[in-house]
Chain A
C-alpha cells in the first residue's frame, strides 16, 4: 500500500502557466483556421489538440509523477481502447468500395 505516494506537487504559479499555455494553444487553433493549409488543416488542428490534451493529462490530472501503478494502468488502458476505436473504424472507412 502506498498511502504516501508522492504526487509531484507544483506551485500555483506552475498551474497558471500551464493554463496560459493552453489558452495560447487555443488561440493558435483559431488562428490556424484562418490560414488555408489544404489537406494539412485537420492535421495541424489535431496536433495542437493532442498537445493540449497531453498537458491536461500530465499536469492537471497529476499523471506525471504519480507513483500509483493503477494510474498508469488506467491511462494505458484508455489509450489502448481509443486505438481500438480508431483502427477498427478506419478498417471500415478506408476500405469502402462505394466511397
Chain B
C-alpha cells in the first residue's frame, strides 16, 4: 500500500491542542480542528439545555393531570425543547463538530477553504444561541418550533420576532459551513483523491452542504415574512389582508423537511465509516451509497407538503407529495441494505462505535418505515398531530442522528483528543442509550395510534401506563447521554495515550498523528488506493481492537 503521509505512533510534541493555550488562541483560531472543539463545547451545552426541557416535558406527562406546570408554560417548554434541539443541536452537530474536524483531514488538506468564514460561522452560532437564551430567560415562545401562522403572526404575544431572529442567525452559520465544505471538497482534495475514492463521510457532508446552501435562505426569508406581517401587518399569510394561510407552511417545510436530511445525512456518512472499519471490509456498492446521498438531498426537496396533508392542501397535490415521499425511501433503503451487505462475511468486532452503528441501523429503519405509514394519505389523517408522529421523528432524528454522532465521537475521539476512552463504560452507555431510547419512544407509537394528541399537557387516565414507561425510559436515556460526557472528560487526563491509528482504519485522517499537528500533514499525502481498502490493511485487531 502506498502511503506518503506521516505515520508516527507517538503524539507530536506540538499538536493543534497545545499550540497556544491562551483564551485568545482559541477564540481567534482559524484552525478547523479548534473550531470543531469550540462547536463541540457549545453544541453539547445546548444539547443538555434541550435535554433539560425534554425532562420537564416527560415529568409533566408522568401523570394525567397538568400538575407540574401551567398549560401555557408547557407550551413554552416544548417550544424551547424543539427550537434548541433542532436549530442549535441536531442541524449543526455532525457537520460542525465531526465534519469540521474531519473534512480537511479526510481529503488530505491543511484546512478548510475559508478558515475565517469557518470561525465566523461559529460566532454566528453563538450569537444565535445567545438570542435564544435571551428569549428563554425573558418569557419564551409558545408556538412550537414551527412558528405556524396565523398563531405566530396574529395571536400569540410571546417573543416570536426574537426567536425567529435567533433561528435566522443560526441559519447563516450553517450556510457558511455548507459553503466552506463544498468549496473545500471541490478544490482541496489531495493528489490522487478522485471523487470515486472519497470517503463516504465526505460524500454525505457534500450532499448536506447542498441542502444547507439551497434550503436555509428560504427559511430565513420565511422568518422575515412572519416578522413583517406581525410588525407591519403586510398581507402575506393572512387571507383578510390578501395573503395565503398555507403559504407559510409551504415555505417553512420547503426548508424544514430537507433540514431533517441535513441532520441525518452526515450521520449516515459516519455509519459508512464505522461499518467498514469494524467489519474489515470494502463497503458494498460504494457508488450507490455515494450517489444515494445526493439523491436524498435532491428528492428530499420534493416531499415537504406531506407535513400538510390535513392542513387543506388540494387532494391532487397531496397525492403528488405522497408518491414523492415514498420515493425518498428508496435511497435511504439503498444505504441500509448496502451496510447490511457490507457486514456479510465481514470479520466483525463489537467495539463501542460499532454498537452505535448497529443501534443506528435498527432505530433509523423503524423511523424510516414509520415515515412511510405517514406518507400514506389515509393513515396520515388518522395519526396527524398524535404521538405517533412524535415517536416517528424521534426515531429518525434522535435514534438516527444521535446514534451516528455518538458512534462517530467514540470512533474519532482518539484522533480528536489523543486519548482512548474507557471501553467498558462506553459499551454500558451505548446499551443504556439503546434501551432507554426504545423505552422512551416505542410506547409513543402506541399512544399516538390509540389517539393521544401531541402538545397537550394533560391526557385521559387510560394513557398513563404508556406515559410512565416513556418517562422512565427518558431517565435511562439521560443516564446514557451523561455517561459519555463524564468519561470523555475523564479520558482527557487519565485515558491511555492513543496511537495514530488505534482501529487500524482506512482513511487519511488516520495517517497523521493523534492529535494531529496544526496543519494536519507534514507532507501532502498522495492517494493511490480506493476508499476502504481493508483487504490491504493488516488485520491485527481481530482479537478486539481496544481491550480495557
State the A residues within 8 Å of B (CB).
Answer: 1, 70, 74, 77-78, 81, 84-85, 88-89, 91-93, 95-98
The residues of A that contact B231 with a CB separation of less than 8 Å are: none
The residues of B that contact A92 with a CB separation of less than 8 Å are: 246, 250, 305, 308, 313-314, 316-317
- Bound state CA distance, A96 and B318, in angstroms? 10
State the B residues within 8 Å of A (CB).
Answer: 182-183, 186-187, 210, 213-215, 218, 244, 246-247, 250-251, 254, 301-302, 304-305, 308, 312-317, 320-321
Known interface pairs A81-B301, A84-B301, A92-B305. Does A97 touch B250 (Cβ–Cβ under 8 Å)?
Answer: no
In the complex the two chains form, is A91's CB within 8 Å of B218's CB?
Answer: no
In the complex the two chains form, is B244's CB within 8 Å of A91's CB?
Answer: no
SS class, residues of chain A in contact with chain B: helix
* A-B contact sample (7 more), CB < 8 A, given A84-B301, A85-B250, A85-B251: A70-B186, A74-B213, A81-B215, A88-B304, A92-B314, A93-B244, A95-B316
Min CB distance B127 to A, Å, is 25
In the complex the two chains form, is B315's CB within 8 Å of A97's CB?
Answer: yes
Known interface pairs A70-B186, A88-B305, A98-B312. Does A81 touch B317 (Cβ–Cβ under 8 Å)?
Answer: no
The residues of B that contact A93 with a CB separation of less than 8 Å are: 244, 246
In the complex the two chains form, is A96's CB within 8 Å of B214's CB?
Answer: no
Min CB distance A30 to B, Å, is 16
In the complex the two chains form, is A95's CB within 8 Å of B214's CB?
Answer: no
Interface centre among A92, A95, A97 (most CB of B within 10 A): A92
SS class, residues of chain B in contact with chain A: helix
- Bound state CA distance, A59 and B312, in angstroms? 42
- Bound state CA distance, A89 and B182, in angstroms? 28
CB-based nearest A residue for B217: A78
- Bound state CA distance, A74 and B312, in angstroms? 34
20 contacts between A and B (CB under 8 A): A1-B187, A70-B182, A70-B186, A77-B214, A85-B250, A88-B305, A89-B247, A89-B254, A91-B317, A92-B246, A92-B250, A92-B314, A92-B316, A95-B316, A95-B317, A96-B312, A96-B313, A96-B314, A97-B314, A97-B315
In the complex the two chains form, is A85's CB within 8 Å of B254's CB?
Answer: yes
CB-based nearest A residue for B214: A81
CB-based nearest B residue for A92: B317
In the complex the two chains form, is B305's CB within 8 Å of A77's CB?
Answer: no
- Bound state CA distance, A84 and B302, in angstroms? 7
- Bound state CA distance, A92 and B305, in angstroms? 9
Interface centre among B183, B213, B214, B218 (most CB of A within 10 A): B214
- Bound state CA distance, A81 and B299, in angstroms? 11
Min CB distance B538 to A, Å, is 36
The residues of A that contact B320 with a CB separation of less than 8 Å are: 88, 91
- Bound state CA distance, A88 and B187, in angstroms? 34
CB-based nearest B residue for A99: B314
Known interface pairs A92-B246, A92-B250, A93-B244. Does A85 touch B314 (Cβ–Cβ under 8 Å)?
Answer: no
The residues of B that contact A91 with a CB separation of less than 8 Å are: 314, 316-317, 320
Q: Which of A1, A70, A77 contacts B210 (CB 8 A)?
A: A77
The residues of B that contact A1 with a CB separation of less than 8 Å are: 187
Known interface pairs A84-B301, A88-B305, A88-B320. Does A95 touch B186 (Cβ–Cβ under 8 Å)?
Answer: no
- Bound state CA distance, A77 and B314, in angstroms? 28
CB-based nearest A residue for B246: A92
- Bound state CA distance, A77 and B207, in angstroms? 13
Known interface pairs A70-B186, A81-B214. Does A88 touch B314 (Cβ–Cβ under 8 Å)?
Answer: no
In the complex the two chains form, is B186's CB within 8 Å of A88's CB?
Answer: no
In the complex the two chains form, is B317's CB within 8 Å of A88's CB?
Answer: yes
